[in-house]
Structure 1
């Protein structure tokens, strides 16, 4: 059986990055992972026996994010001023682009955002994403297609303004 300390040491940073990709906030990501690890600690006798406890913890983070009540209460999305196309490799320009990207992602429904984070950030295949979310692979593909279409539409409308 793998100890919880070993698994936390090896996966905590990755879980925090996933939490950041899902929630869009460092503080919310920390809270998300902390609540998952607290629940995992209580169930570690069972989780530690699994072949891949890291994958189980990742699934717990996704499920916790999807059901998180505190995030539903705080739907505040910071608005950035529209940015011009970058002409150089300025740190301020890159930060503005990053902020604009977070703003676009924050507009997506939660499941679509999860699908994009697991597909493009965690680099998981549709089968694995479907298993984590408890849906069919076709549902994963349709959520990804809708999310990308929404992002394209939002980007087009912002560029037109």
Structure 2
């Protein structure tokens, strides 16, 4: 890898794929919006699952006398390509959707593609199968004191599929 995409945060690149799964983590990332779309052509399966996230690039340890972590966070679009068998539950929706973990399981049948089981959070669970994913960090990360960006910092809800670099 050549130069970092955002040296202050330690971010090495702005577009990630399922090949990077072992290096990624979504714990405490906030889902701002969820969308299901179809391709315009005859792609099979025809569905895409998109998540608009506040992606935590890095947790920063407190420096005494501070006692609380700070965070490098970027607005991101996580796209599961050629998704199918999308199931799950939401609710109650009195709290934000914060991800606990994302698990990738081996295929339970003769399909070559994994079961992206458990995009799992405090009050939701999403299960799906997909050919893979791509995650786009849409702006450079912001260094903030909370695990979430303001709507102004993230430029509102967005499913943009272009990274900042």
TM range (shorter): under 0.3
Q: With structure 2 as the length reference, what TM-score do the two structures score?
A: 0.23
Determine which structure has the larger strand proportion and give its number. Answer: 2
Determine which structure has the larger helix proportion and give its number. Answer: 1
